C-alpha cells in the first residue's frame, strides 16, 4: 500500500504495464499526433470510423509516463463502438474531471473515473488529457501535431 | 593524524541553510528537499532584503535624475557591475553587460556580433551537450546568413570528443559556442583547451556559463574566452537578470542590440550616436532591483568561497552517485570524469515524470524531463531523465531522503 493510490490506482498501473489497443491501424481514416513538450510524451492515434460516425476501431502508439499511457489505453477501450458525439461528450466530461472543474465525476465516465485523482496533481493534468486532445484532433483530422503547450491543451 | 580545525569548521552547511528562508518550508507536509538547483537556485536573505530595501528606500530611474534617489540607485546599479567584474575577473566593468539571462546574452551576441560578422559559408561550432538556448540562436543566425552549424559529438559518458572537435575546427569556423557545464549531465567541459585551440585557428569562443558560475571559479581573463554568459537566478540571485561578458575590443566593434533610451550618446532625427559599452547594449530602463540583488548574491557566494562550495558539492555528488548506484534499476546518465553536482538518472522503465511526481509528494524537488537538451536525450536514446542537482545548501541527509524517495517510486511501480 502506498501513499499514491489516489493517483497510481491499480487499474492505471495495469493499463500502463499492459496497454490495450497498442499499435497502428492500417485502414484508419482518422489520425492525429499529440505531444507534450513538458515531459516529451508522444502519442500517435489511429481511428476507423464507419459512415454512421461510429468508432469501429481505435489504436495508439507512443511513449510517455504511466498516466499518459494508461489514459490513452483506457480511452481506446472505452471509445470503441461509441459514436463521435458520445466520444466528444466523454472528452469534455473527462477534461472537466481532471481539471477539477466538477466536484464529482459523472457516472457515465465509468471506469475512467479512476483518473479523478489527477485533479490533485496539477502538473499531471496534461499527461491524463493528452490522449483525449489527440483523439479530438483525429476526429477533426487536424494535420498539425497537437501540443499541450499551444493553447489547445493548456491546462494546469 | 588529525585534520586541522580550520578544515572541520570551514564549511558549516547548517549555518548556510539558515540564510535561505525557503528551506524552512514544507511541501505536501514534508520538509522541502530542494534538488532542482540546475533549474534555479533559492535566494539568501541578503538578496531578498536588498530587493525589498531597494523598493522601500531607493527606487528611482538610473542615469537620469539629478535627485538623490536616482543618484543612489545609479550608484548601486553601477557598483553591482564592478562586483560582477571582480567576480569573474573581467579587465573592465565596461565588459559587463546586463541582460535578462543567459538566453538573452547568447541571443545578443548572435544578433549583434553574429549578424555583422557571419557570412554565407561560415561555420559555427557548438556541442552535442548544449542547452536549447545555445542551439536555437545559432540555428536562426545560420539560416539567415547561409552559414553552417556544426556539432562536437560526445561519448557514452557524456564527454566531448576532443579529437573530433579539432577536426571540426577549420578556417571557416568563426565561432565556437559551448557550455562550461552541461545542465543535463553535469559534464565539465575542457573549455580552456577549447578556447586555446579555437583561437589558434582564428575562431572566437562564447562560453555558456549558466551551469558553472555558481559552482566553479571563473576567471575570464585567464580563460581568454571572448564572451561569457550567465544568469543571476542560477547563482542565488533574482530571476530576469543575467550577464554577458565580452572583450571590450569586440564590444566596441559590435553594433547595438536594441535601440532606445540609455544606449545613446545623442539623438537627432538625422543621426544617432551610440553610447559606449556597456550602455550601448542596455536600451531602456533595466531590471535595477535585479541587478542590485545579483550583486548581493555574488557577495554571498564570495563570502562562502567558491572553492569551498565546489568541494562541498563534489562531496554530495560522490555520495549521491554511490547511493543511487546501489539501486539496481538506476541508470546514471552522464558519467564524465569531470562532473559538477548534477545527477541525471533513469529508473528501469519508469518514466521520469512519474518519478518526479512521487518524489515531490515526499518533499523532494527534482527536475523530470529533457532539460531543454533534447539532442542529449536522443544521444542516450531516452525521452527524459530525472535530475537531482546540488547547491551550496544541500546536505547528505537530503541525499538520503532522495534515495529513500526513489525506493518509494519502485514500491509504487512494483
CA dihedral (B341, B229, B136, B147) in degrees, to 10, reads -130
Q: How far is B229 from chain A (nearest CA, A)?
A: 25
Phi-psi region of A46 (alpha: psi -120 to 50; beta: other; left: phi over 0): beta
Q: Could you report the per-residue pLDDT of B302-331, keeping only the tens digit for each? A: 999 999 999 999 999 999 999 999 999 999
Please give the sequence-ordered ranges of beta strands (E in DSSP) within chain A, or none if there are none: 30-36, 41-49, 55-63, 146-147
CB count in 10 Å sphere of residue B183? 29
User: With pLDDT > 90 as the criterion, what percentage of chain B qualifies?
Assistant: 94
Selected residue with higher pLDDT from A51 and B4: A51
C-alpha B55: how far from chain center = 27
Mean pLDDT in residue range B133-143: 98
Among residues B372, B376, B402, B409, the one annotated as catalytic is B372
With contact defined as beta carbons under 8 Å apart, do A43 and A62 qualify?
yes
**CATH topology for the B5-31+306-412 domain:** 3.90.1150
CB count in 10 Å sphere of residue A23? 11
Whether B372 sits among the annotated catalytic residues: the reply is yes
Q: Is the confidence at residue B6, as pLDDT, over 50?
A: no
pLDDT at A1: 38
pLDDT at A3: 67
pLDDT at B9: 53
Res. A141 pLDDT band, cuts 50 70 90: confident
Cβ-proximal residues to A44 (8 Å cutoff; 6+ apart), any chain: A24, A31, A32, A33, A34, A60, A61, A62
Nearest Cβ partner for A63 among B356, B361, B383: B383
How long is chain A?
Answer: 156
Q: What is the C-alpha separation between B404 and B414, in angstroms, rounded?
A: 15
- How big is the CA angle at B163 (ends B158 and B168), to the nearest 5 degrees? 100
| Total structural domains within chain A | 1
Question: Closest Cα to residue B210, out of B266, B141, B130, B285?
Answer: B130
Mean pLDDT in residue range A73-91: 97
- Identify all chain B residues contacting A38, using CB atoms and an 8 Å cutoff: 369
Res. A156 pLDDT band, cuts 50 70 90: very low
Q: Is the confidence at residue B7, as pLDDT, over 50?
A: no
pLDDT at B73: 96
C-alpha B222: how far from chain center = 19
**Whole-number average pLDDT of chain B:** 96
Give the right CATH number for B48-303 from 3.40.640.10, 1.10.10.10, 3.40.50.300, 3.30.470.20. Answer: 3.40.640.10
Phi, psi of A69 (to 5 degrees): -70, -45
Lowest mean pLDDT segment, chosen from B60-64, B328-332, B338-342: B60-64
Ranges of each domain in chain B: 5-31+306-412, 48-303
Joined together, the cell numbers standing for residue B12 give 558549516
pLDDT at B164: 98
Measured between alpha carbons, how far apart are the two ends of chain A, in Å?
A: 28
Res. A142 pLDDT band, cuts 50 70 90: confident
What SS3 class is residue B250? Answer: helix
Measured between alpha carbons, how far apart are the two ends of chain B, in Å?
A: 48
Q: How far is B145 from chain A (nearest CA, A)?
A: 28
Burial class (CB in 10 A: 0-12, 13-18, 19+), B337: exposed
Domain of A108?
10-147
What SS3 class is residue B148? Answer: strand
Lowest mean pLDDT segment, chosen from A34-48, B74-88, B127-141: A34-48
pLDDT at B287: 97
With contact defined as beta carbons under 8 Å apart, do B274 and B20 qualify?
no
pLDDT at A18: 95
Mean pLDDT in residue range B348-364: 95
Q: What is the C-alpha separation between A14 and A122, in angstroms, rounded?
A: 22
Q: How far is B376 from chain A (nearest CA, A)?
A: 13
Interface contact B361-A3, CB threshold 8 A: yes
CB count in 10 Å sphere of residue A49? 19
Please give the sequence-ordered ranges of beta strands (E in DSSP) within B35-179, or none if there are none: 96-99, 123-127, 148-152, 173-179
Q: Is the confidence at residue B8, as pLDDT, over 50?
A: no
pLDDT at A147: 76
C-alpha B5: how far from chain center = 34
Mean pLDDT in residue range B373-379: 92
Mean pLDDT in residue range B283-300: 97
B368 touches chain A (CB under 8 A): yes
Interface contact A39-B354, CB threshold 8 A: no
Residues of A with CB under 8 A from a CB of B: 2-4, 7-8, 13, 38-42, 63-67, 121, 123-124, 127
Mean pLDDT in residue range B206-218: 98
| C-alpha dist (Å) from residue B115 to B111, B292, B302 | 5, 31, 37
Res. A104 pLDDT band, cuts 50 70 90: confident
Q: What is the DSSP letter of B398?
A: H
With contact defined as beta carbons under 8 Å apart, do B75 and B207 qualify?
no
Cβ-proximal residues to B146 (8 Å cutoff; 6+ apart), any chain: B119, B120, B121
Res. A152 pLDDT band, cuts 50 70 90: very low
Q: How far is B282 from chain A (nearest CA, A)?
A: 32
Q: What is the ipTM of this complex?
A: 0.87
How long is chain B?
Answer: 414
Mean pLDDT in residue range B209-238: 98
Res. A146 pLDDT band, cuts 50 70 90: confident
pLDDT at A5: 77
With respect to residue A156, please indicate whether it lies within any of the assigned structural domains: no
Lowest mean pLDDT segment, chosen from B63-77, B196-210, B217-231, B320-334: B63-77
With respect to residue A21, please indicate whether it lies within any of the assigned structural domains: yes
Which residue bears the cell 548534477? Answer: B342
pLDDT at A149: 63
Pairing of strands B227-231, B204-208: parallel
B348 touches chain A (CB under 8 A): no
With respect to residue A2, please indicate whether it lies within any of the assigned structural domains: no
With contact defined as beta carbons under 8 Å apart, do B296 and B76 qualify?
no
B129-143 burial code (b ≥16 CB/10 A, e <16): bbbebbbbbbeebbe
pLDDT at A2: 46
Q: Is the confidence at residue A145, as pLDDT, over 80?
A: no
Nearest Cβ partner for B384 among A4, A39, A66: A39
Res. A40 pLDDT band, cuts 50 70 90: confident
With contact defined as beta carbons under 8 Å apart, do B205 and B81 qualify?
no
Task: Look at the alpha carbons of B27, B30, B33, B35 in this order and tell me if their dihedral is positive or negative.
Answer: negative
CATH number of the domain that A123 lies in? 3.90.1010.10
Q: Is the confidence at residue A150, as pLDDT, over 70?
A: no
Mean pLDDT in residue range B15-44: 97
pLDDT at B2: 46
Which of B184, B348, B352, B357 is the mutation pick for testing A, counting most A CBs within 10 A?
B357
Q: Is the confidence at residue B255, as pLDDT, over 60?
A: yes
Res. B64 pLDDT band, cuts 50 70 90: confident
Res. A154 pLDDT band, cuts 50 70 90: very low
Q: Could you report the per-residue pLDDT of B167-182, keeping only the tens digit for each? A: 999 999 999 999 999 9
pLDDT at B3: 45
Amino acid at each position: 500500500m502506498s501513499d499514491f493510490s489516489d493517483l497510481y490506482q491499480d487499474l492505471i498501473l495495469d493499463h500502463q504495464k499492459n496497454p490495450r489497443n497498442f499499435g497502428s491501424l492500417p485502414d484508419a481514416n482518422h489520425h492525429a499526433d499529440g505531444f507534450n513538450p513538458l515531459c516529451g510524451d508522444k502519442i500517435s492515434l489511429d481511428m476507423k470510423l464507419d459512415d454512421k460516425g461510429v468508432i469501429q476501431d481505435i489504436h495508439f502508439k507512443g511513449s510517455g509516463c504511466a498516466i499518459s499511457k494508461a489514459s490513452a489505453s483506457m480511452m481506446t477501450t472505452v471509445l470503441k463502438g461509441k459514436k463521435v458525439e458520445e466520444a466528444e461528450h466523454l472528452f469534455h466530461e473527462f477534461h472537466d474531471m481532471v481539471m477539477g472543474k466538477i466536484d464529482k465525476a459523472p457516472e457515465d465516465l465509468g471506469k475512467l473515473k479512476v483518473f479523478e485523482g489527477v485533479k490533485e496533481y496539477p502538473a499531471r493534468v496534461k499527461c491524463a488529457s493528452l490522449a483525449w486532445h489527440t483523439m479530438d484532433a483525429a476526429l477533426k483530422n487536424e494535420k498539425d501535431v497537437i501540443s499541450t503547450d499551444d493553447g489547445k491543451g493548456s491546462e494546469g | 593524524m588529525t585534520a586541522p580545525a580550520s578544515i572541520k569548521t570551514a564549511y558549516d552547511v547548517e549555518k548556510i541553510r539558515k540564510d535561505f528562508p525557503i528551506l524552512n518550508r514544507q511541501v505536501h507536509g514534508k520538509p522541502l528537499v530542494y534538488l532542482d538547483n540546475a533549474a534555479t537556485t533559492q535566494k539568501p536573505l541578503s538578496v531578498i532584503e536588498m530587493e525589498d530595501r531597494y523598493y522601500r528606500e531607493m527606487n528611482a530611474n538610473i542615469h537620469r535624475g539629478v535627485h538623490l534617489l536616482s543618484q543612489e540607485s545609479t550608484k548601486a546599479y553601477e557598483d553591482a557591475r564592478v562586483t560582477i567584474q571582480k567576480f569573474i575577473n573581467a579587465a573592465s566593468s565596461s565588459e559587463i553587460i546586463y541582460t535578462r539571462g543567459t538566453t538573452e546574452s547568447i541571443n545578443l551576441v548572435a544578433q549583434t556580433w553574429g549578424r555583422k560578422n557571419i557570412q554565407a559559408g561560415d561555420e559555427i561550432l557548438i556541442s552535442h551537450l548544449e542547452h536549447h538556448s545555445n542551439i536555437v540562436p545559432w540555428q536562426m543566425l545560420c539560416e539567415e546568413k547561409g552559414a553552417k552549424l556544426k556539432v562536437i559529438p560526445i561519448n557514452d559518458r557524456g564527454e566531448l570528443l576532443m579529437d573530433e572537435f579539432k577536426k571540426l575546427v577549420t578556417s571557416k569556423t568563426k565561432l565556437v559556442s559551448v557550455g562550461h557545464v552541461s545542465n543535463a549531465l553535469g559534464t565539465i567541459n575542457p573549455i580552456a583547451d577549447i578556447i586555446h585551440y579555437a583561437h589558434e585557428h582564428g575562431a572566437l569562443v562564447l562560453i555558456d556559463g549558466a551551469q558553472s558560475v555558481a559552482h566553479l571559479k571563473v576567471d575570464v581573463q585567464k580563460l581568454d574566452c571572448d564572451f561569457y554568459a550567465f544568469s543571476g537566478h542560477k547563482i542565488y540571485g533574482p530571476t530576469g537578470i543575467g550577464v554577458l561578458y565580452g572583450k571590450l575590443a569586440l564590444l566596441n566593434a559590435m553594433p547595438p542590440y536594441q535601440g532606445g533610451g540609455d544606449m545613446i550618446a545623442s539623438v537627432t532625427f538625422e543621426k544617432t550616436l551610440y553610447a559606449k559599452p556597456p550602455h550601448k547594449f542596455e536600451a531602456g530602463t533595466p531590471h535595477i532591483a535585479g541587478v542590485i540583488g545579483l550583486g548581493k548574491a555574488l557577495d554571498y557566494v564570495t563570502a562562502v568561497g567558491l572553492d569551498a562550495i565546489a568541494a562541498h558539492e563534489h562531496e554530495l555528488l560522490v555520495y549521491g552517485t554511490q547511493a543511487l548506484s546501489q539501486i539496481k534499476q538506476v541508470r546514471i546518465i552522464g558519467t564524465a570524469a569531470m562532473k559538477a553536482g548534477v545527477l541525471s538518472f533513469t529508473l528501469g522503465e519508469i518514466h521520469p515524470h512519474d518519478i518526479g511526481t512521487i518524489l515531490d509528494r515526499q518533499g523532494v524537488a527534482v527536475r523530470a524531463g529533457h532539460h531543454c537538451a533534447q539532442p542529449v536525450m536522443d544521444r542516450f536514446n531516452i525521452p527524459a531523465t530525472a535530475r537531482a542537482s546540488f547547491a551550496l545548501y544541500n546536505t547528505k541527509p537530503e541525499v538520503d531522503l532522495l534515495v529513500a524517495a526513489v525506493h518509494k517510486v519502485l514500491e509504487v511501480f512494483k
